[in-house]
């Protein structure tokens, strides 16, 4: 993952660009330019002398720069402050990054590039609480253990299983009622499970699952703060919340959300009463209920619960912000479809240029808001070797040689 260098490292690198005259590369319009630091950084500004005039460069434009410091690739973004006859003045970057996960250097999109996305598969626009990730359907081997066409049968199996290991179990859908109390709001807002191993203790301190599933103590306290509890009182409020559950007769409980795509459509609640010999619900129960919710979501879909919100597949033209041979950053204004572009979503893509069209799949890996628009970062999946070579040469304006591969792929 990209790592910002420390303030001292940043000062060292910027000074070294001047003293060692290390070339900084800027790629624009399928052309590589090399910039050299013309004087020491002063007053928050950098002074570069390019090896030739840079076409289309404008004041206030952000440009991405890259340099190689003895095998370690560093990138940074600067804003152009002034353009002189032989020099370019930029503002000093806030960050320099090293140890980048990106496989290739990003550049501005060429003028003739068009990128079209098509949502593949079945997508829905539903009146349920939305979460910030995308949930895949249950794998076939899991579905085969239960009949998804028999929704009532699945309900009965889950209830029978729960009553065999706990004091009670309940399945709730958000079809008619919106989340109204703390546990419902938390699981509907996060897509994670509300888990209290024991009301004599507290929430889990850490989440052991690689893809986080649990509401931790820290998350619960942040929720309390969002409701108006001040920081000085949050520990006491958390303890009081758990104490009231104990006084109400609950010893251990678990609420697992039923997730369908990016929606929390309901939950399964299971609990153990506060009585002699009571045993806490363990992680095995979490694992089992998680599997049940996956099958239940498939069964709800199979039985037409979500049919009213099914969307038509649509091909749309994106606005590319920057692109590399391994992925691109884009924005798309239509929120109906943009809301589907959550991390982990895979989308069919076509990159059209004057001389070639590349068909590939992309995976959305991040999203963030920049001012008023939402930006989406994605990486290409299993692009054909000849398409990758063409894209590299098309973007960077030079042959995809082993030396170039080492530079662009080494640590970027």
Encode 48-72: b = buried (16+ Cβ within 10 Å), e = exposed. Answer: bebeeebeeeeeeeebbbbbbeeee
Q: Is residue 230 part of a domain?
A: yes
Q: Which residues form the domain of 339?
A: 114-123+311-404
Rounded to whole angstroms, the Cα distance separating 89 from 45 reads 7
Find the helix or strand (DSSP H, E) in which 42 lies. Answer: strand 31-42
Please give the pLDDT value at position 401: 62
Residue at which a domain ends, from 280, 308, 336 = 308
- Judgement on whether residues 235 and 381 belong to the same structural domain of the protein: no
- Summarize pLDDT for 71-91 with one digit per residue, the tens: 677 888 899 999 988 899 999
Rounded to whole angstroms, the Cα distance separating 375 from 319 reads 10
Q: Which of 4, 61, 68 is nearest to 28 (CA)?
A: 61
Confidence check: pLDDT of 408 > 50: no
Confidence check: pLDDT of 411 > 50: no
- Summarize pLDDT for 7-66 with one digit per residue, the tens: 888 999 999 999 888 889 888 766 778 899 999 888 899 999 998 888 888 899 888 888
- Summarize pLDDT for 258-289 with one digit per residue, the tens: 999 999 999 999 999 998 889 999 999 999 99
CATH, residue 177: 3.30.450.40
120 Cβ contact partners less than 8 Å away, ≥ 6 residues apart = 313, 346, 347, 348
Rounded to whole angstroms, the Cα distance separating 387 from 362 reads 14
- Summarize pLDDT for 334-382 with one digit per residue, the tens: 777 777 888 888 889 999 999 999 999 998 888 887 767 788 889 898 8
Question: Residue 81 has which token pair?
Answer: 């402050």
Q: pTM value?
A: 0.65
- Summarize pLDDT for 85-110 with one digit per residue, the tens: 889 999 999 889 876 554 567 788 88
Please give the pLDDT value at position 410: 36
- Judgement on whether residues 248 and 334 belong to the same structural domain of the protein: no
Residue at which a domain ends, from 308, 338, 354 = 308
CATH, residue 62: 2.30.110.10
Q: Is residue 304 part of a domain?
A: yes
- Summarize pLDDT for 214-226 with one digit per residue, the tens: 999 999 999 999 9
């Amino acid at each position: 993952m990209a790592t910002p260098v420390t303030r001292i490292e940043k000062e060292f690198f910027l000074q070294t660009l001047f003293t060692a005259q290390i070339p900084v590369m800027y790629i624009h319009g399928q052309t590589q330019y090399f910039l050299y630091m013309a004087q020491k950084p002063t007053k928050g500004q950098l002074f570069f002398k390019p090896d030739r005039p840079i076409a289309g460069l404008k004041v206030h434009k952000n440009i991405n720069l890259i340099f190689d410091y003895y095998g370690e690739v560093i990138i940074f973004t600067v804003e152009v402050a002034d353009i002189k006859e032989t020099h370019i003045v930029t503002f000093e970057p806030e960050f320099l990054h090293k140890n980048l996960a990106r496989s290739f250097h990003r550049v501005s999109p060429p003028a003739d590039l068009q990128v079209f996305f098509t949502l593949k598969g079945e997508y829905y626009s539903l009146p349920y609480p939305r979460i910030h990730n995308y949930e895949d359907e249950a794998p076939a081997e899991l579905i085969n253990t239960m009949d998804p066409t028999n929704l009532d049968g699945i309900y009965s199996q889950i209830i029978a299983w729960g009553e065999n290991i706990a004091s009670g179990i309940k399945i709730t859908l958000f079809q008619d009622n919106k989340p109204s109390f703390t546990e419902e709001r938390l699981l509907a807002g996060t897509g994670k499970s509300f888990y209290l191993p024991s009301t004599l203790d507290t929430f889990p301190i850490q989440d052991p699952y690689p893809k986080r599933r649990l509401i931790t103590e820290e998350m619960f306290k942040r929720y309390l703060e969002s409701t108006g509890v001040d920081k000085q009182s949050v520990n006491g409020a958390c303890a009081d919340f758990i104490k009231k559950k104990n006084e109400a007769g609950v010893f251990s409980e678990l609420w697992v959300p039923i997730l369908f795509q990016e929606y929390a459509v309901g939950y399964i609640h299971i609990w153990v009463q506060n009585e002699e010999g009571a045993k806490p619900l363990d992680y095995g129960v979490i694992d089992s209920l998680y599997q049940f919710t996956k099958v239940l979501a498939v069964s709800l879909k199979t039985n037409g619960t979500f049919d009213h919100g099914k969307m038509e597949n649509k091909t749309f033209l994106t606005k590319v912000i920057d692109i590399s041979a391994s992925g691109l950053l884009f924005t798309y204004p239509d929120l109906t479809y943009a809301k589907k572009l959550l991390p982990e979503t895979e989308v069919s893509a076509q990159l059209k240029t004057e001389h070639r069209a590349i068909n590939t799949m992309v995976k959305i890996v991040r999203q963030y808001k920049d001012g008023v628009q939402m930006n989406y970062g994605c990486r290409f999946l299993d692009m054909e070797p000849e398409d990758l070579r063409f894209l590299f040469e098309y973007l960077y304006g030079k042959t995809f040689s082993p030396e170039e591969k080492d530079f662009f792929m080494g640590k970027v």
